[in-house]
Structure 1
Amino acid sequence: MKKLYLLEDAIISPMGFSTQENIKAIQEERSGLSLQHKPKITNAAFYAAIIDELQLNNAFASIGDIKEYTKLEKMMLLAVQQVLAKNPGLDLTTTALIITTTKGNINLLKDPGSFPQSRIKLSELAKTIGQFFGFTQEAIIISNACISGGLGLAVAKRLGNTEEIKNAIVLGGDLVSDFVVAGFNSFQALSSKPCKPFSKDRDGISLGEAAAAMLVSTEKPKTSENIALIGDATVNDANHISGPSRTGEGLYQSIQKALKEASISASDIDFLSAHGTATIYNDEMESQAFHRSALQDTPVHSLKAYYGHSLGASALIESIVTKHAMLKNELYSSKNFGELGVSWPLNVVEEYRKKEIKYALKTASGFGGCNLALVFKKE
């Protein structure tokens, strides 16, 4: 079984336009969330992490025409550009492009501007990204709710094991569009305060927009320390179109299968990066799945109070942060955590601290009952 090595990466978010800026913000517990008002959708103000379009345009102008690309495309193109700039010898004719998103350019439904109607299609998003850089292979598109970003890494690993690919760039991105805001508002799931994952007084999610890209390879890099994806699994609990399983069965099975493929046990896991959306039912479900997996004492955090829930980008961003946490032997705080508010005990990271991390587990869950577990190893 081949491993998938996590190489160069980039994060474009309200906390910074590079991975380094994002990690620094997390170390300093600076959130990208700010108060938002959309009176045409909801009378109540809510918190979300929104990328300033002027800053985005200023950054993008160095690589392309800002009028030719949508906001999401500019975010995603900037992320890929950073990765390619540090890998000038990468052969794009043999490198796969895996694009992960939940809604893509859905904001064009409301205001297409000068863009053709076809630009809303995910296939057109993929074509735009691929043609900009000169990828010759048709992009793989993954749109499986909120596990999409992490699932992109799992798909790259599986393709590597069939020897269909050696290198790939996994790219994720989503916007805080009116469509997404209206959808979560209809579920009464938007918090009026910055979200509080796993806390007793949590009352819903904070949304976020971001893009991230990561170069991955089945070939081990010649560096002193590397992070590899060594186990992955996705199981659908088939519970409800939007509600998670009350027993955590799908996530539990995903964790067990990923650990089995990695040939390790739960006791080997040094750190757990949770989905942690701060909704009542998601956090409760996760706590039960972690307890059933004997992970209740493993240090765990959620990054949603920094980024908000960035949908199809979230699990990729959180995997990138996990990679750097492992390399630096650092545990980052689960921001806004207060009193534990789930039925099953968890060891939530309340403040930054150092810890040797050899194995880490990243989990994600999403609408339609999808669940994902990824096991990373430092070697």
Structure 2
Amino acid sequence: MKKEIYITDYNCVTPLGFNVDANWKALVEGKSGVDLHQIIDNQDAFYASMIHSEDLEKEFSTIQNDSHTFTRLEKMFILSIKPLIERHSITEHTAFILSTTKGNISLLKNKTELPEDVYLSKLAGKIAGLFGFKTKPIVVSNACVSGVMAIAVAKNMIQAGKYHDAFVIAGDELSEFVISGFNSFQAIGSGPCKPYDKNRNGINIGEAAAAVYITSAPAENEKFRFKILGDSAINDANHISGPSRTGDGLYDSIRNAMTEAGVSAAQIDFISAHGTATLYNDEMEAIAFNRMELQHVPLNSMKGYYGHCLGASGLLESIISMESALHGIVIPSKNFEEMGVSQPLNIIKENQLASIRYILKTASGFGGCNAAIVLEKTNII
């Protein structure tokens, strides 16, 4: 019999706030971090979700004096994980898992030689060393499914007996490299993104950091427990940037995760979808959800609030989905007005009371990767 694995604590750092409570309050009020930003010199401002650097520095100064030794992304990571470190012990059996797509890629700007800190292993080692982790850091960097996959890696490694518990952090920041890359695909929207909407025309890039604590032995005094019931990651091998038109990879990921979880489509109470607001991604998701007979399940995308935060998206959106279950409220898919995909979906349009036990979280990314996890809210005795 497999060990039961739980998420029992989490935190996040985003343009909407530096902790979960601030983020949840902003979301319930319908606030978005997406706004016009001038990020690249000599280029027009565009819509993105960005943490104000002054606010980040001010927040970081309350916990660390030598801020000059850390990059902007590293400060986001440290702010996200520090509260969890203070509440849970690190032992020789505790894993440290870092999820990111591009890490400290900004350090490459105007450099003729490769800076050491641009390596993801060095980034993970720096954060792990700061907090005194005793095990070798693990990096999960698989495009935009990284955050969801990091949860799955923690679950599977604890179940295999490699670790007793794990701290998982995920983060990416806005950078000229990332922006230029998405621009080359003509994938950046002209306004605030509109996932699944008829008039969607592209993504908003975002930035955030998030952290969760995962364990097989929850303490008695914890406020909540979410069991990680099932997970799966499948590559559809379709195209370097375009998803399978039939949704094969996502369909297989969802099917496998739900099979492991022992949960039927009728039991899923809420879907936290990827929903990037690109033409092909949203259509592919709609097809995959319908193939799994999930078209009637309440669904949202958080991209209208946070933008696409790359390696942080899956973890951040998992946290918000768990907050929805705890509060009994589902948040609307911001900016959605008129159905723009060929298959029916139950897209949430306003704050709604909901009883949520089983959550399906999905993600898809470049290279044909797709991932899904099933979470269960459990009652604390």
Give the TM-score taking structure 1 as reference length: 0.96
Query: Could you report, residue by residue, the CA deviation over 1:202-240 in whole angstroms, capped at 9, with x for unpaired residues?
Result: 000001000001111012342575211101011100000
SS at 1:235 equivalent: strand
- Corresponding residue for residue 53 of structure 1: 53
What are structure 2's unaligned runs of at least 5 residues? none
Within 5 A, what are the aligned runs for 1:39-78? 40=41, 43-64=43-64, 65-78=66-79
- Corresponding residue for residue 17 of structure 2: 16
Within 5 A, what are the aligned runs for 1:72-221? 72-87=73-88, 90-110=89-109, 117-221=115-219
Counterpart-to-counterpart distance in 2, 1:66 and 1:192? 35
SS at 1:146 equivalent: coil
Contact kept, 8 Å, 1:92 with 1:134, in 2: the verdict is no
- Give the residue type in structure 1 aligned to 2:116: S
Within 5 A, what are the aligned runs for 1:238-249? 238-249=237-248
Counterpart-to-counterpart distance in 2, 1:111 and 1:61? 28
SS at 1:181 equivalent: helix
- Corresponding residue for residue 294 of structure 1: 293
What are structure 1's unaligned runs of at least 5 residues? none
How far the C-alpha of 1:38 sits from its partner, in A, is 4.4
How far the C-alpha of 1:350 sits from its partner, in A, is 0.3
Contact kept, 8 Å, 1:45 with 1:192, in 2: the verdict is no
Counting matched residue pairs gives: 375
- Give the residue type in structure 2 aligned to 1:12: V
- Corresponding residue for residue 321 of structure 1: 320
- Corresponding residue for residue 230 of structure 2: 231
Give the TM-score taking structure 2 as reference length: 0.95
- Give the residue type in structure 1 aligned to 2:61: A
Contact kept, 8 Å, 2:361 with 2:374, in 1: the verdict is yes
Query: Could you report, residue by residue, the CA deviation over 1:237-284 in whole angstroms, capped at 9, with x for unpaired residues?
Result: 000000011000000000110111001111110100000000000000
How far the C-alpha of 1:92 sits from its partner, in A, is 4.0
Could you tell which deviates more after superposition, 72-81 or 45-54?
45-54
Contact kept, 8 Å, 1:44 with 1:192, in 2: the verdict is no
SS at 2:191 equivalent: coil
Query: Could you report, residue by residue, the CA deviation over 1:176-209 in whole angstroms, capped at 9, with x for unpaired residues?
Result: 1000000000101111101000000000000100
Counterpart-to-counterpart distance in 2, 1:290 and 1:95? 36
- Give the residue type in structure 1 aligned to 2:374: V
Counterpart-to-counterpart distance in 1, 2:161 and 2:313? 28
Contact kept, 8 Å, 1:237 with 1:250, in 2: the verdict is yes
RMSD: 1.6
Q: Which runs of 4+ in 1 moved over 6 A?
A: none
